[in-house]
Amino acid sequence: MKYKLCLLDIDYVIEGGKAVIRIFGRTEDGKSAVLIDRNIEPWFLVLSDDMEETEKFLENLKGEGFSIQKLEKETREYIGKKTKFLKAFTKLPGEVRSAREKVRTLPGVKGVFEADILFTHRYILDNSLRPMGMLEVEAEEIEKPEKFELDLVLEARGSPKYIEGEIPKLNIMSFDIEASNPKGMPNADKDPIIMMSVASDSEEKVISQKKPEGSQKYVEDVKNEAGILKRFEEIIREEDVDILAAYNSDNFDFPYIRDRAEKLNHELNIGRAGGTVRFKSRGRYSAAESRGRIHADLFHYVTIILRGALGQINSRSLKSVAEKFLPEDSRKKELDWRKMSEYWENGGEQLKELFDYSMADATVTKKLADLFMPREYELSRLVRVPLFDAMRTTYGRLVENYLMWNAIERGLVIPNRPEQEEMGERAATGAIEGAYVKEPEKGMHENVAVMDFKSLYPSIIISHNIDASTVNCDCCKGKAEKVGDIGTWMCTKSEGLMPIVLKNILKERTELKKKMKELEKSSKEYQTLDNRQYSLKILANSAYGYLAFRGSRWYTREGGSTTTALGRMYTHKIIDTAEEFGLKSIYGDTDSLFVVSEEGKVEEKVKKFLKKINSELPGVMELEFEGVYKRGIFVSKKRYAMIDEKGDTLIKGLEFVRRDWSPIAKKTQKEVIESILEDGNSEKAFEIVRDTIRKIKNREITKEDVVVYTQLTRPLDKYKVTAPHIKVAKDMKNRGEEVVTGTSVGYIITEGGGSISERAKQVDEV
């Protein structure tokens, strides 16, 4: 029987001495399911000078912990030529690495390829599947193994294949924990979880060890902390959760839950196939994973994928992100975390307020998940990376995975990732010279026109055919024209993989944006297309960085430096050409140019200039008109503010978006900037400053207005200079409060003598 299901998660286990792939998802009719595929074999490619001799070696090759099961011949394109490879199969995925190291040493072997690809990713690539997309497979329903928490267990009777189609609705549930420590940040060694909140489409609940009479209906009490964890597991199973969303849960919630569960001798099981929550190392942190359910830590999505969309945001806290993306009535409730223990112990109305705070954290996180996850689905589907990994990977890895799939589609060999030694050598070459930035003419300017290159670096890569396979190629040496100011040339006989891929990305994105113009913004189709075009934008903008990324499979330092060299050349060209049209450049930054016209008619002149310059730019390169701002203030590189005719402001790099300023300082500077932009004179701005000073002197402000929050980035004893927040942190520690790396220190600078640090006091002391 044929089944259709969404590929939500994928892993493999070893059963009966063989690797077994497990695909978790939902069928088209909404049933949770796992597809088991036993018909798989790990493999890698071998390139040899003497194929027959190498084949004989491999047929009899046995090493410590591996053996070659069978050999096939396969033709791939390698260094621009059709080349024959031996495809060597092993019994288990873990044997591939051992076999690779041995095969490399055999006589005549020139290289071993595609032995460094994760087995689950290999399966996705070999079957052309798309995570968060639909697949179709001939399968048979089998008996559900013990501890499996889903509706169907299917065993594949053929290879799955990707099919177009909308994925079924997925069950998202958010959660948040609260722990209590009267002396500071909670410590999992001694401070219990006092409550946990969960929110889904059908459930909003706070699970607590206390429930005073008259508590909110959504509060459910349990006997103890172990009861909280047990009830959490039960709700996950009852809701048949697909995606478990939280905020900063890799770093805080799940490690805390794990440590408390160990203290209580409680085995936390929230997956769909048994087993406890696993922690996978991902460099500087560990990611919490449960089999068959996706743990979505929205903090990673915000800090990695939404990095460019955050704009003028004070921090990456849940509160700040909610204020940026959610309506006012959907935002996080305020509660000083230092009062949490007091509210918990006092009970009554204060405890009810704590319940509201906890519940709001979960509901806000759920609303953010509903907003962000569809975009993440599209990204996962686009780059063929499972959702769990797509949310946590870097831009470079997203580009790499997209290139890998495109390489396979075109019959190319995937280059190996560099070894540590090679990455060190690449890093030792130093940074590439970046973009040209024209220093701004400081001060205020009227009628500022702004122009942007449309996808500057991607369009340069496409227009000049910049790729690891085309830069300084042997076939065009001495024949191709050198480009940029570093003397490189590009192949004129064949197009590189990166330019081909980028061309398709930009073309698809243009087509999507064209379709979007015909749709209502509130429609589901519009949102789907918008998520897709945003994913394409991320890939396009990340491609240049991947060229010279030291861990790149398709590494070309010359390609990266040529791209930026051409960027500098074209920036100079547009500045010089703009002068010919009476346009004075007052600032230029990477892909943007800001101009004014002393004779007026700036927009008319810009349009004439654009017509000429775009006729001279090569390939797909294009300079676009962004708009005219009636007034702008320019302070230094990447620090300016402008206002358009509608009164909308654009502010970049100025202090009110910093985290280490007090609210009143941020508010005052914002009002000063907006006043100057709106009125064009300084008197009102001076009055705003004078009024703020008067309010401070007359105590017409609250303590919260003048609090500065700074986070500790290392242990206290590692700080050599006693800045205000360090002085206050030491005071806190002396009073018995726990102060560790990551602690947010709030302080107020008080009146009196001495240095600023000496006058810094904790909020409660003022």
Residue 189: both structure tokens together: 């060694």
CA atoms within 13 A on the CB side of 765: 13
Confidence (pLDDT) at 319: 82
Tell me the one-letter amino acid at 237.
Answer: R
CA atoms within 13 A on the CB side of 678: 13
Confidence (pLDDT) at 85: 97
pLDDT grade for 478, boundaries at 50, 70 and 90: confident
Burial 301-318 (b: 16+ CB within 10 A, else e): bbebbbeeebeebbebbb
Query: What does each C-alpha distance from 741 to 175, 251, 276 come to in angstroms?
Result: 25, 13, 28
Maximum alpha-carbon separation in the chain: 91
- Angle, helices 497-516/395-409, rounded to nearest 10 degrees: 100
The domains found in the chain, sorted by start residue, are 1-167 (3.30.342.10), 172-383 (3.30.420.10), 417-496+542-639 (3.90.1600.10), 654-703 (no CATH), 707-765 (3.40.1820.20)
Mean pLDDT of 588-600: 91
DSSP 8-state secondary structure symbol assigned to residue 176 = E
Question: What digits encode the pLDDT tens for the residues 264-280?
Answer: 999 999 999 988 899 98
Between β-strands 172-179 and 243-246, what pairing exists: parallel, antiparallel or unpaired?
parallel
Confidence (pLDDT) at 655: 58
pTM of the model: 0.89
> What is the number of H-type helices and E-type strands within the chain?
20, 32
Residue 638: both structure tokens together: 């990447």
Chain centroid to Cα 703, Å, comes to 36
Lowest mean pLDDT among 350-359, 402-411, 729-738: 729-738
- Counting residues of the chain whose pLDDT is more than 70, the rounded percentage is 97
- Angle, helices 348-383/524-547, rounded to nearest 10 degrees: 70
pLDDT surpasses 80 at 675 = yes
pLDDT surpasses 70 at 313 = no
- Angle, helices 524-547/395-409, rounded to nearest 10 degrees: 90
Confidence (pLDDT) at 286: 87
β-pair partners for 44: 88
Confidence (pLDDT) at 658: 60
Cα–Cα dist 212/202, whole Å = 25
pLDDT surpasses 90 at 447 = yes
CB 436 within 8 A of CB 592: no
CB 366 within 8 A of CB 172: yes
Confidence (pLDDT) at 342: 86
Mean pLDDT of 350-358: 92
Cα–Cα dist 466/471, whole Å = 6
Question: What digits encode the pLDDT tens for the residues 219-229?
Answer: 999 999 999 99
Question: What digits encode the pLDDT tens for the residues 54-108?
Answer: 999 898 887 777 889 999 999 999 988 999 999 999 999 999 999 999 999 999 9
Confidence (pLDDT) at 600: 81
CA atoms within 13 A on the CB side of 671: 16
CB 276 within 8 A of CB 147: no
Q: What's the burial of 747, exposed, middle or buried (CB within 10 Å: 0-12/13-18/19+)?
A: buried
Lowest mean pLDDT among 92-101, 281-290, 582-591, 722-731: 281-290
Q: What is the mean pLDDT of the chain?
A: 91
Three-state secondary structure of 298-346: HHHHHHHHCHHHCCCCCCCCHHHHHHHHCCHHHCCCCCCHHHHHHHHHH
Confidence (pLDDT) at 310: 59
Confidence (pLDDT) at 664: 92
pLDDT surpasses 80 at 307 = no
Helical spans, DSSP H, in 9-93: 51-59
